[in-house]
Amino acid sequence: MLLNLALWIGGAVLTVLGIYQARDPYARLQGLKAVDANARRYADWRGGTLREEQGGVTGADVMRQMLGGRLRIWGAIAVLGVALIVAGFVLR
């Protein structure tokens, strides 16, 4: 019973922590996508494609990769928390 309780509490803590920490990278990633979509609409309105003319990797691309990595890490922690909760029920 004590092991089950420890797994449930640990799983709940990891799940809440993972979800809480993943909110900021997710919000920033959505903001970058919105800015990118706005830039594409503006480029289409002008009649050209700005991004293809410039080429290369931009700072926003690097930031998008970093945020995606953080999102994957915290998402994995949240999934681990759910797995601990399930393990607490299975080991009953």
> pLDDT of 17-75, one tens digit each?
999 999 999 999 999 999 989 988 888 888 876 655 566 788 888 999 999 999 999 99
Tell me the two tokens of residue 65.
């990769």
The domain total for the chain is 1
Residue 58: predicted pLDDT: 82
Q: Are 85 and 7 in contact (CB under 8 A)?
A: yes
User: What tokens does 75 get?
Assistant: 């998402």
Report the alpha-carbon angle 68-73-76, nearest 5.
120
Place of tokens 């601990």: 84
What pLDDT does 82 receive?
97
Q: Which domain holds residue 63?
A: 2-90
> Cα(77)–Cα(7) distance, rounded to whole angstroms?
14
CA distances from 22 to 8, 42, 67 (A): 21, 30, 9
